[in-house]
Each structure stands twice: as C-alpha cells, then as structure tokens.
Amino acid sequence: MTHPADQNVPHMDLADFRRHGHQIIDWIADYLEGVQDRPVNSIVQPGEIAGMLPSSMPENGESFESILSDLDRVIMPGLTHWQSPNWFAYFPANASPTSILADVVSSGLGVQGMLWATSPACTEVETRVLDWLADFLGLGDRFLSTGTGGGVIQDTASSAAVCTMLAARDRATSGTQQGLSGHAPSLRAYTSNQAHSSIEKAAGIIGIGRDNLRLIEVDDQYAMCPAALRAAIEEDLAAGHQPFYVSATIGTTASGAFDPLPEILEICRAYGLWFHVDAAMFGTAACCEEFRWIQAGCQEADSYTMNPHKWMLVNFDCNCLWVADRAALIESLSILPEYLRNQATNSGAVIDYRDWQIPLGRRFRSLKLWFVLRQYGVIGIQNMVREHAALTRDLVTWIEEDECFEILAPAPVTLVCFAHRDGDERTQAILDAANASGKVSLSHARLKDRLVIRFSIGQWRTQRSHVESAWKLIQSFSDA
C-alpha cells in the first residue's frame, strides 16, 4: 500500500514512515531514559541556537536522517528539560508516555473537529470524557453535558478566561452583536491581586480595558478578602460603573493560595455577577477526597477551568473548561457562515465545539485525555497526587528543621515558598547557585515584598530521592 515517491514532490513513502516512526519513538524513549542526567536549565546565550540554523530554507529537500541528526546537534542544547524529575520550577508540564502516544495517534489521524459533522468521534469523546472528569473532580451536576452545562477543551486557561469573560460581558450588555458599542457604564471585573496574569490579559482582549479589572487585596495567607471584594463592588456601583465578572483562584500561581469560594459566591449572587473559578494547577488535587475542600463552592460557579496539561499527565496543550450554562458561551462564540451549514448542526442534536472557543479549527485533543484517564484510572491519578503531596510534607518538615530558612505561605498541596532568613540577597544567591548547578530547576515569587524560592513538586517522575537531593543542594549553598 505504499505510494511511489512522486518524481517532483518528495513525500515520505509509507515504508520509510514506518521505519522513521520507530526511530522517533526510540529517540524519545532514549531521551526520557536519560533526561534526569542532563543539566535541567538550558544555558545557551540569546541567538546561539538561531546561529546554528541556515539563514534560508533548503532549495532541495533533505534526507530525514540529516534532520534527525540535527535534533541532537541543534535543538537539544537549547532545551530546558521540563520532563526531568529534577524539575521544581513554575508548575509541571507533565508529558506522560501515554499522552505522547495518544498525541501521535491524533496527528496520524489528522482530523479537524470544528463541527460534529467533520468527525463525530472527535466531539463525542470530548463531551463524554469531560463529563467523566467533572465527576472525578467533584464539580457537581451543573457542569455536565447532560444538563444545561458542559465541558470543552481549550488550548490554555488563558483562553478559558477570555471565553468566559466574553460570555459574561455579552450577558451584561445588550449582547454579542452590539458588543461594547454604545454601552455607557464601564464594565468592571474583579480578581485578587494574586490571580494569574491571564485574567488581566482577558480584560484587555474583550475590550473592557485592563484598568477595569480590579485587583482585590488578600489576607495574610494570600487568599482574596471577600469584604474587600464587596467594598470594591459597592464603590464601583456608587461611581456608576457596572460590575459583571469575578474570577477566583484555586491555588494561585505565586504561592498556591485558595480563595474562599463560598463567600465570593454569595457576593456574586447578590450582585448578579458571573463567577469564574481558575483551578489551573491545583484542580487536579480535588480528585482526592482529602483535598476536595480546596474547591468547596465551585459547584455553584458559572464556569470552572483546570489544566490537565500541568499536573494531570496530559502533554501540553490541554485545558478543560466547564460552564453551567452552555447557551451563554455559545451565544457569544457561535458563527455560522454558509459553507459550514450542515444537517447535523441544523438538527440541534449535536455539539459543534467551534462555538465554544475562539478559533474555528480544532484537533483531536480529547484523545490524549481519554488515553490518560483510561490508562491511569481513578486510582492511578489519585496515587500520583498523594505521592506528590507526601513528598511536599516531607520537604516542609525538612525546611522547618533548618533554622536558616522560613516558609512564607501555607503549603497544603504541592508548592512550598520559602526564603533564607538573612533576606533577599541571600535567597537570590542560593536560587542562582542552585539553578546554575544544572541539578535542579527552581523559580521564584515575591510575597509581602520578600523574594521566595518556589519549590513546586509534581513532575510525574519525581521521587523522594530527587526532592531530598534538591533540598540538600539548597542547604549546601546556604552554608557557603
């Protein structure tokens, strides 16, 4: 069944595809086998990788072998190894082997699932798997596709913020067709001053202006103060503005703080505001009974989002967004040019996910979520969360036992923020030395105007020995 290579167009024939495919999987397996011995952070200088690339594309096609060999020569030196078990920076971006293979299948099928009709399985797997996940995370019935809600895969939590804020904007004004034109009062959105920057970006994108997002102050645990939220809303109403949207965070990016959802929910209800919950990283923890408390109240929100592409073993990109009222989202995002009309859409019996997102086209991303949820199962994912949480408790104990350091935020799940007691300069020196050693990757945050080292546990291959070595390394620099 192989196609003869065209004389003029050098398509890869299927025999070569098969051979190179095996080569590529072997190459990836070798990479994952050895990644823990590589320096975690790339140390190349700006322009160094570009300097190894020719300034124009090749005139005649090159052999696949020569491309493959340049992966090692050109690409590898310029990589920071997110799949290293010594990865403790930012949050994880777990690419489990299962998800890698599922993504290969998705690429191999090459389907475009913009409409139900353009590949029914692409839509129906997504709907079902997001219902599974809503159940697994305890999101409650309102977000299920069997009622008025439903879930959709977006590229990132940033897109989820834009889509929900847009739907909320249209609900609060005269709607999609008019948008903000002729709308007199300023629309006001609210989130805590610890919220992710994507909320601010969304405010700019949907046209209300970034200054109309108010950053609400937090308590000493970095969680939003409901009283301050209420006061800001009252102040805005008195000034003639129009409050419309609140985003609360389950696990802030800097320190992993949990906003008090029940109190915020009550305020949203009292003023009729759209309530969005951003659980990008720590939503995954809610699959375990003992961590359910972190999002108590999210079941009554208008929208909820989390990223399987962070902790939940699905390679980037895969964000899940659930809405309680899908009609509101679709109202803002649907568009139906003549060339997309089809019987299934007209019948109203199917979901067309292009109406739930910004782009038209979409690939078969639910495949990798489906593979991962099946291969790990409920128990497998819970076990991973529990292992990482246990490692975090160990790390907290070790830090507490060392009088040179102090922990500056609660660390109930898998993120520990700590600093040297001597102050920022000392903390910075330790962080720089640790990152320059090649043995770990750590990042930082500022909390109450102090520099802290963020030690985020959650890389899928991280074991106790990796956390222990990383901590000893940090201690060795503090003794220096």
281 lies in the site for ligand PLP, by CB under 6 A: yes
Binding test (CB under 6 A) with ligand PLP, winner from 163, 187, 277, 280: 280
Edge to edge, the sheet with strand 443-447 lists: 405-407, 415-420, 450-456, 443-447
156 lies in the site for ligand PLP, by CB under 6 A: yes
* Identity of the residue, 129 or 281, whose beta carbon is nearer to ligand PLP in the bound complex: 281
Distance CA 214, CA 357 (A): 25
Which of these segments, 26-34, 203-211, 274-282, 359-367, binds ligand PLP (CB under 6 A)?
274-282
Please report how close the Cβ of residue 216 comes to ligand PLP at its closest, in angstroms: 15
Which of these segments, 156-164, 291-299, 399-407, 448-456, binds ligand PLP (CB under 6 A)?
156-164
The tokens for 459 are 């890389």
b (16+ CB within 10 A) / e for 55-88: eeeeeeeeeeeeeeeeeeebeeeebebbbbbbbb
In this structure, the number of other CB atoms found within 10 A of the CB of residue 269 comes to 11
Which of these segments, 183-191, 278-286, 400-408, 460-468, binds ligand PLP (CB under 6 A)?
278-286
Please report how close the Cβ of residue 383 comes to ligand PLP at its closest, in angstroms: 23
The owner of tokens 């995002």 is 333
Binding test (CB under 6 A) with ligand PLP, winner from 103, 170, 278, 352: 278
Tell me the three state secondary structure of residue 218.
Answer: strand
417 lies in the site for ligand PLP, by CB under 6 A: no
Beta strands 405-407 and 319-323, pairing class: unpaired
Tell me the three state secondary structure of residue 47.
Answer: coil
* Identity of the residue, 295 or 319, whose beta carbon is nearer to ligand PLP in the bound complex: 319
Residue 153's nearest CA partner among 121, 125, 195 is: 125
The C-alpha angle with vertex 135 and arms to 130 and 136, in degrees rounded to 5, equals 95
* Identity of the residue, 158 or 315, whose beta carbon is nearer to ligand PLP in the bound complex: 158
Binding test (CB under 6 A) with ligand PLP, winner from 118, 127, 295, 307: 307
* Identity of the residue, 212 or 252, whose beta carbon is nearer to ligand PLP in the bound complex: 252
Distance CA 452, CA 470 (A): 16
Distance CA 465, CA 388 (A): 12
Non-local CB neighbours of 50 within 8 Å, separated by 6+ positions: none
Please report how close the Cβ of residue 215 comes to ligand PLP at its closest, in angstroms: 14
Binding test (CB under 6 A) with ligand PLP, winner from 198, 212, 366, 382: 198
* Identity of the residue, 307 or 345, whose beta carbon is nearer to ligand PLP in the bound complex: 307
* Identity of the residue, 236 or 259, whose beta carbon is nearer to ligand PLP in the bound complex: 259
DSSP state of 224: B
Measured in degrees and rounded to the nearest 5, phi and psi for residue 405 equal -120, 155
DSSP state of 236: H
Beta strands 303-306 and 274-278, pairing class: parallel
191 lies in the site for ligand PLP, by CB under 6 A: no
Cα dihedral sign, 216-219-225-231? negative
Q: Is residue 170 reached through a cis peptide bond, with omega within 30 degrees of 0 on the bond before it?
A: no
158 lies in the site for ligand PLP, by CB under 6 A: yes
Distance CA 411, CA 393 (A): 8
Please report how close the Cβ of residue 157 comes to ligand PLP at its closest, in angstroms: 4
319 lies in the site for ligand PLP, by CB under 6 A: yes
Distance CA 451, CA 205 (A): 31
Please report how close the Cβ of residue 234 comes to ligand PLP at its closest, in angstroms: 27
Which of these segments, 109-117, 247-255, 379-387, 389-397, binds ligand PLP (CB under 6 A)?
247-255
Distance CA 204, CA 220 (A): 29
Please report how close the Cβ of residue 88 comes to ligand PLP at its closest, in angstroms: 15
Please report how close the Cβ of residue 197 comes to ligand PLP at its closest, in angstroms: 8
Query: How many residues are listed for the chain in this entry?
Result: 480
332 lies in the site for ligand PLP, by CB under 6 A: no
b (16+ CB within 10 A) / e for 429-441: ebbeebbeebbbb
Residue 201's nearest CA partner among 156, 235, 136 is: 156
Which of these segments, 66-74, 277-285, 335-343, 350-358, binds ligand PLP (CB under 6 A)?
277-285
253 lies in the site for ligand PLP, by CB under 6 A: yes
Which of these segments, 50-58, 202-210, 273-281, 471-479, binds ligand PLP (CB under 6 A)?
273-281
196 lies in the site for ligand PLP, by CB under 6 A: yes
Please report how close the Cβ of residue 417 comes to ligand PLP at its closest, in angstroms: 14
Please report how close the Cβ of residue 253 comes to ligand PLP at its closest, in angstroms: 4
* Identity of the residue, 115 or 157, whose beta carbon is nearer to ligand PLP in the bound complex: 157
* Identity of the residue, 244 or 282, whose beta carbon is nearer to ligand PLP in the bound complex: 282
Which of these segments, 220-228, 248-256, 376-384, 460-468, binds ligand PLP (CB under 6 A)?
248-256
> Which residues here bind ligand PLP, judged by CB under 6 A?
91, 156-158, 196, 198, 249, 252-253, 278, 280-281, 307, 319
